[in-house]
Amino acid sequence: MKKINLAIALGATCAGCDVAILDLNEKILEVFDLVEFKFWPTAMDFKLDDLEKLKDKEVDVGIYHGAIRTTEDVKIAKILRQKSKVVVAFGACANFGGIPSLANMPYEQNMFDLVYKDVPSMDNPENTVPLTSVKIDDVELTLPGILENADALEEIIDVDYFVPGCPPMVPLIEQVIEVLKVFAKKGELPPKGAVIAGTKTLCDECGRTKPEKISFKEFISPQEVEEMDPDLCLLPQGIICLGPATRAGCDGLCTKMNVGCRGCLGPTDKVKDHGLKMISAITSLLEVDEEEEMTEEQLDKIVEKIPDPLGTFYRFTYGKSLIYKLHSEEKVI
């Protein structure tokens, strides 16, 4: 069996995706049997040069994790595309922009100033900020430039497969290994555009029981719950869970720990805007019977209890959302 040439490249990432791969434990040995690493700077001694030196399409499978945040990320993504037969967007950031894309929310203030000058935890009396180029003793040092927004990989290059998750969970990575095995043996690949995760939403596999009709009167955070019912769906207990809107595949990692799903696997194939869909579901479930009699203020009071709505509903998918695209004046539909 011919080994598969594999490259793992990264952009704006926390490198949790790399750790997730290493989390395969002894299964990682199977990976080593299956693949020949052509590039994986986080785990081995590779430089970008090593990737650039390869022939076009020499890499069979190129995996990319992290968002596109800097000019360097764009460059790496494009090289990866050039050198790889197929490219896999790996993890929530590469799939949807992820947490870095929350910074795309238009603030009154420049994001750069906010981070380097005005953030309360920042003590920077000299206003030192990173520059793309600086000369020290006639030597020019450069840094990549920052882009206006953080984007999903698909916005920059053509992507063949998608593995969502923050980071992708071991069962999903195992599925990827199965795909690689078939590829190595028979040269067969799934249809282009396939998402390697479930097709349904998390509720299907979460295991908590749902009452025939779900509704709730108020939002509460898990630490406020006096006695959490470990078997009952979290929503009727008032805890926001993005499970109903989020693609299955994690086996309910969070909900098993009494924590609402945060949505890292993104929406199903049918949905364009993950957060919007969850918002419309949540608002539909909010005590509809009495809603007509409630005042605007009373309703506001309930909704105010949702901490950081943007971060709650778009924690991982703002970069792919319609509202972001509307702001960035991109073509929405």
Name the one range near ligand SF4 by CB under 6 A: 47-55, 137-145, 174-182, 241-249: 241-249
The single-letter code of the amino acid at 4 is I
CA 259 to chain centre: 18
| Cβ 266 to other proteins shortest distance, Å | 12
Longest dimension (CA), the chain: 73
Answer whether 44's CB lies under 8 Å from 76's CB.
no
Answer whether 321's CB lies under 8 Å from 311's CB.
no
Tokens 């953030």 map to which residue?
119
Q: Considering the rule CB under 6 A, would residue 234 count as an interface residue with ligand SF4?
A: yes
Q: Considering the rule CB under 6 A, would residue 21 count as an interface residue with ligand SF4?
A: no
Tokens 């360097």 map to which residue?
72
Among 208, 274, 277, 315, binds ligand SF4 (CB under 6 A): 208
In the chain, DSSP assigns E strands to 4-10, 35-39, 59-65, 68-70, 84-90, 133-136, 139-142, 146-151, 161-163
191 SS3 class: coil
Q: Residues 150-189: x/- map of binding to other proteins (CB under 8 A)?
A: ----------------------------------------
Q: Considering the rule CB under 6 A, would residue 94 count as an interface residue with ligand SF4?
A: no
Phi, psi of 135 (to 5 degrees): -105, 125
123 SS3 class: coil
Q: Which is nearer to other proteins, 1 or 333 (CB)?
A: 333
Name the one range near ligand SF4 by CB under 6 A: 49-57, 162-170, 227-235, 295-303: 227-235
Name the one range near other proteins by CB under 8 A: 24-32, 92-100, 123-131, 261-269: 261-269
| Cβ 51 to other proteins shortest distance, Å | 37
Q: Which is nearer to ligand SF4, 11 or 243 (CB)?
A: 243
List residues near ligand SF4 by CB under 6 A.
201-203, 206, 208, 210, 233-235, 241, 243-244, 255, 261
Please give the residue ranges that form the binding site for other proteins (CB under 8 A): 199-204, 210-215, 243-245, 248, 267-271, 277-278, 280-281, 284-285, 288, 293, 333
